[in-house]
A and B are shown apart, each in its own frame.
Chain A
Amino acid sequence: MSLSKNPFDANVSLAGRCNCGHHTSQAEHDAEAVAEREALESRAVEGAVMRALFPDDQLRRNFLKAVGVGTAYAAVATLFPLAAAREAFAESTGPLEKTKLKVGFIPITCATPIIMAHPMGFYAKQGLDVEVVKTAGWAVVRDKALAKEYDAAHMLSPMPLAISLGAGSNPIPWTMPAVENINGQAITLAMKHKDKRNPKSWKGFKFAVPFDYSMHNYLLRYYLAEFGIDPDKDVQIRSVPPPEMVANLRAGNIDGFLAPDPVNQRAVYDGVGFIHILSKDIWEGHPCCAFAASKEFVTQTPNTYKALLKAIIEATAYAKKAEHRKEIAAAIAPANYLNQPVTVVEQVLTGTFADGLGKVQKVPNRIDFDPFPWHSFAVWILTQMKRWGQIQGDVDYQKVAREVFLATDAAKLMQEVGLTPPKTTSKSFVVMKKTFDPAKPEAYLKSFAIGKS
């Protein structure tokens, strides 16, 4: 770490103490980090073995309770050489099939891990020479990724599902090995609607979302429908690339948008709009953007894929820590990446922001980073695709979720970089006070009054 310290950063101490301030020297900090990682790697292997032996978590707990930890460990070790497995995992995998990669991104803070991995050296650490290429819109990212011009790309998390299902393009097996960010979006309204804070009064509004196959579209539709506004009849929702949103809001072409940041904060910064609600208040912990690659890339260059994913997950783990957020904001704001004023990016990442109505709000988890691609996220997205008529007919929710959202790979690598992956790949969650049970998607779908199906 000591080499990568930025001598021009006011938050970094060059003399004596380490980055985090808990150790007397950087060396001590590094040593502890290494020990921590090794311990975590061992844990990862043991966890994988236990999960393989006991697919049902309850069974595992019962077993442990019944025989005690020591006995259980010995019993498992006789069945499975845990020590050997730990070593096998720690050994580096084969050589990288290719080191020069191109990764496409859209200039929004959702892409933080993909972008920051470049200036902050996470790709280089894995021996990869990655070129991060700014791209004009989601359709172009999709087409360039399909054309193999990009090896991997920043996409919206519904896009790999849509591509795999062939909605809006030819079906091509696509994968999503990691979610990039959770939360971090907002509904912004034009200043002239300052007094119309109740969505029931929004009939006739024109809204923008970044793309048809986006969490933004589904969240906005969900939000409106919960207030009795039919998103297909009572308002107009159009797809507008994020950079053009503020310009359109300013010109009065649209009344508001559910957009990724820094677009919302930029609207406030320029005095054009105010933040009505953060997306985390619609669904706390919702996924947004994703790191996506073709199945071909994953299967034909497995070592490169693993190294790239590790760089992304490491960057995500780094971004998760609140104390790193200012440093990251400074790294990704320049023209080569987001091309935004640093204060705008900083307000998004730190969660201390001006809301456009004269108040400074402090919401530390306004945007957060958690790479785990929950299968239940995919199932929820599929229910909404069906709800709004983007896909028809029967959907094998669980199968599609499993094939596209590569939860196992992410879990393995998350543990390697010091994050704690969850034990299961499916969880229920609450969207606007309504619980979603991933085991019953059809029943969930039928419970909505407004929708096309």
Chain B
Amino acid sequence: MTTLRKPWLAPLLSVLLLAFLLGVWQLAAQPETTVVDPGLDPEYAALIGAAAAGGGQSAMPTPGEVGGKLWAHLTDPFYDRGTNDKGLGIQIGYSLARVLAGYLIAVALAVPLGFLIGMSPLAYRALDPYIQVLKPISPLAWMPLALYTIKDSGTSAVFVIFICSVWPILVNTAFGVASVRRDWLNVARTLEVSPLRTAFTVILPAAAPTILTGMRISIGIAWLVIVAAEMLVGGTGIGYFVWNEWNNLSIANIIVAILVIGVVGMALDTMLARLARAVSYRE
């Protein structure tokens, strides 16, 4: 990448783009001037929403309304008004705990297994069809099966995170291990390094960037999956928050949740990207 001559240009463009999008949104969501139909029974008008009284349907919220909701959630993220009504911060906490649990199990299992598969071409070919079949299955398809067999919704959610995030790590680890340069392995063999030591001092560092790439893909998938899983099982978490606000048709709150989901996902991705940079090397 060439260095830009004016480093402030890109952020400026980003801000302008944001302003433009918000402007378009504000204009598009501008409620039609809701004049209450003069022929409408005032008793009736009091019973229905403002938009319906004007003869229309309730409209999209404007950026201002969303901003207000966002502010309300950010200033009071940890309130707890009972089992089914907790602050956004608490919900994010629940979701992160589930994602980390499922993800760490996936890493703990997939990295060693991927190592074995990568070192043995036979195992690679034997397991490949299973991996290819199981990889593309949607989390929502796993959920009923998990609920039915595990019989605990919290564990089911963690299981679904695990089963969806295990494949990229597994495939990438196997690929990274299998494609370590032959020369390096041969050097290790001539120096009579033990196989275990070879694995840790030669193969692992060599395959680390590929493994980290797999882990980075996986954390993205895990974060995608959690929202869907929580919308399905409910109870707690950011996915439940979205579902609960959908229940109330509160689009403003849903947009707030979307923004928060995006920011947290970006933070997770950035963390793994940093980690990947730390283990990368130049040949």
**Chain A residues with a Cβ under 8 A of chain B:** 107, 131-137, 139-140, 143-144, 146-149, 243-244, 246-247, 250, 266, 268-272, 334-337, 339-341, 343, 347, 352-354, 356, 358-360
Given contacts A147-B147, A149-B153, A336-B81, 13 further A-B contacts (CB under 8 A): A131-B83, A133-B234, A136-B233, A140-B232, A140-B234, A143-B147, A147-B150, A270-B249, A335-B81, A337-B84, A347-B47, A354-B48, A358-B44
CB distance from A296 to the nearest CB of B (A): 14
Which residues of chain B have C-beta atoms less than 8 A from A134's C-beta? 83-84, 234-235, 244
Q: Report the bound CA distance from A269 to B44 in whole Å.
A: 11
- Give the chain A neighbours of B83 by CB distance below 8 A: 131-134, 336
* Residues in B37-51 with C-beta less than 8 Å from chain A: 40-41, 43-44, 46-49, 51
| B residues in contact with A358, CB < 8 Å | 40-41, 44
| A247 / chain B contacts, CB cutoff of 8 Å | 246, 249
- The reply to whether the CB of B231 lies closer than 8 angstroms to some CB of chain A is yes
Q: How far is the CA of A336 from the CA of B241 in the complex (A)?
A: 11
> Of the candidates B49, B84, B151, B231, which one forms a contact with A133 in the assembled complex, judged by CB atoms under 8 Å apart?
B84
Q: How far is the CA of A121 from the CA of B12 in the complex (A)?
A: 57
Specify which chain B residues have a CB less than 8 angstroms from the CB of A243 in the assembled complex. 243, 246-247
User: Is B8 part of the contact surface with A, judged by Cβ < 8 Å?
Assistant: no
Closest chain B residue, CB of each to CB of A146: B151
Docked-complex contact B81 and A270, CB < 8 angstroms: no
- Does any Cβ of A come within 8 Å of B190's Cβ? no
Q: Which of B233-283 contact A (CB under 8 A)?
A: 233-235, 240, 243-249
Cβ B47 vs Cβ A133 within 8 A: no
Q: Is the CB of A266 within 8 A of B85?
A: no
B195: which A residues are within 8 A, CB to CB? Answer: none
Residue of A whose beta carbon sits closest to that of B45 = A354
Tell whether, in the assembled complex, residue A271 and residue B247 are in contact, meaning their CB atoms are under 8 Å apart: no
Q: What 0/1 pattern do residues 28 to 59 of B give for CB contact below 8 A with A?
A: 00000000000011011011110110011110
Within 8 A of A (CB), among B65-84: 81-84
Q: Which of B184-207 contact A (CB under 8 A)?
A: none
Contacts of B56 on A, CB cut-off 8 Å?
271
Inside 8 A of A337's CB, which chain B residues have their CB? 84
B153 CB contacts on chain A under 8 angstroms:
140, 144, 147, 149
Decide if A266 touches B249 in the complex (CB within 8 Å). Answer: yes
Q: How far does the Cβ of A142 sit from chain B's closest Cβ, in whole Å?
A: 10
B148, CB-defined interface residue at 8 Å: yes
Closest to B47 in A: A354
Measured between alpha carbons, how far is A356 from B41 in the docked complex, in Å? 12
- Residues from chain A with a CB closer than 8 A to the CB of B51 are 270-271
Q: Does B183 touch A at the CB level, under 8 Å?
A: no
**In the complex, which residues of chain B have a beta carbon less than 8 angstroms from the beta carbon of A356?**
48
* Bound CA span A336–B234, Å: 13
B124 CB → nearest A CB, Å: 37
Task: Identify 29 residue pairs between A and B in the complex whose beta-carbon atoms are under 8 Å apart, listed by A's number.
Answer: A107-B247, A131-B83, A132-B83, A133-B83, A134-B244, A136-B243, A143-B144, A144-B153, A146-B151, A147-B147, A147-B151, A149-B153, A244-B246, A247-B249, A266-B249, A269-B49, A269-B52, A270-B49, A270-B52, A271-B58, A335-B81, A335-B85, A339-B245, A339-B247, A340-B248, A347-B47, A354-B48, A358-B41, A360-B47
Contact A359 B44 (CB under 8 A): yes
Task: Assess the A334–B85 pair: CB atoms within 8 A.
Answer: yes
Query: Across the interface, do B244 and A335 meet the contact criterion of CB distance under 8 Å?
Result: yes
Residues of B with C-beta under 8 A to A353 = 47
A246 to B243 alpha-carbon distance, docked (Å): 14
Cross-interface CB contact of A272 among B57, B148, B233, cutoff 8 Å: B57
Q: Please measure, in the bound complex, the distance between the C-alpha atom of A316 and the C-alpha atom of B98, giving whole angstroms.
A: 38
Asked if A354 contacts B234 (CB within 8 A), the reply is: no
Say whether A139 contacts B144, CB under 8 Å: yes
CB nearest to B51 among chain A residues:
A271
Measured between alpha carbons, how far is A359 from B82 in the docked complex, in Å? 37
- Chain B residue numbers with a CB within 8 Å of A246 are 249
**A268, B84: Cβ atoms under 8 Å?**
no
In the bound complex, do residue B152 and residue A149 qualify as a contact, i.e. CB atoms below 8 Å apart?
yes
**B56, B150, B249 — most chain A CB neighbours (10 Å):** B249
Distance (whole angstroms) from the CB of B35 to the closest CB of chain A: 14
Q: Which one of B46, B56, B84, B85 has the highest number of Cβ atoms from chain A below 10 Å of its Cβ?
A: B84
B42 to chain A, nearest CB (A): 10
Note all chain B residues with C-beta closer than 8 A to A269: 47-49, 52
Question: Nearest Cβ distance between residue B11 and chain A, in whole angstroms?
Answer: 37
Q: Is the CB of B48 within 8 A of A140?
A: no
Q: Are A271 and B48 in contact (CB under 8 A)?
A: yes
Q: Closest A residue to B246 by CB, please name it.
A: A243
CA distance A347 to B47 in the complex (A): 8
Question: Residue of A at shortest CB range from B46?
Answer: A343
In Å, the complex CA distance between A137 and B143 comes to 13
Bound: A297/B59 CA distance, A: 47
Contact indicator per residue, chain B 11-36, by CB within 8 Å of chain A (1) or not (0):
00000000000000000000000000
The chain A residue with its CB closest to the CB of B54 is: A271
A353 and B43 CA atoms in complex are apart in Å by: 10
**Minimal beta-carbon separation of A389 from chain B (angstroms):** 22
The 5 closest A-B pairs by CB, nearest first: A271-B52, A147-B151, A336-B85, A243-B247, A336-B82
A247→B247 CA distance, assembly (Å)? 9
Q: Which residue of B lies closest to A354 (CB)?
A: B47
A334-B49 in contact given A136-B233, A149-B153 (Cβ < 8 Å): no
User: Contact: A271 with B81, CB < 8 Å?
Assistant: no
**A83: shortest Cβ distance to chain B, in Å?**
45
Residue of B nearest to A142 (CB): B147
Task: Point out the residues of chain A lying under 8 angstroms from B40, CB to CB.
Answer: 358
Complex-state Cα separation, A133 to B233, whole angstroms: 11
Task: Give B79 Cβ to nearest chain A Cβ, in Å.
Answer: 10
CB distance from B273 to the nearest CB of A (A): 34
Chain A residues with CB under 8 Å of B231's CB are 136
Q: Which B residue's beta carbon lies closest to that of A352? A: B47
Q: Is the CB of A140 within 8 A of B147?
A: yes
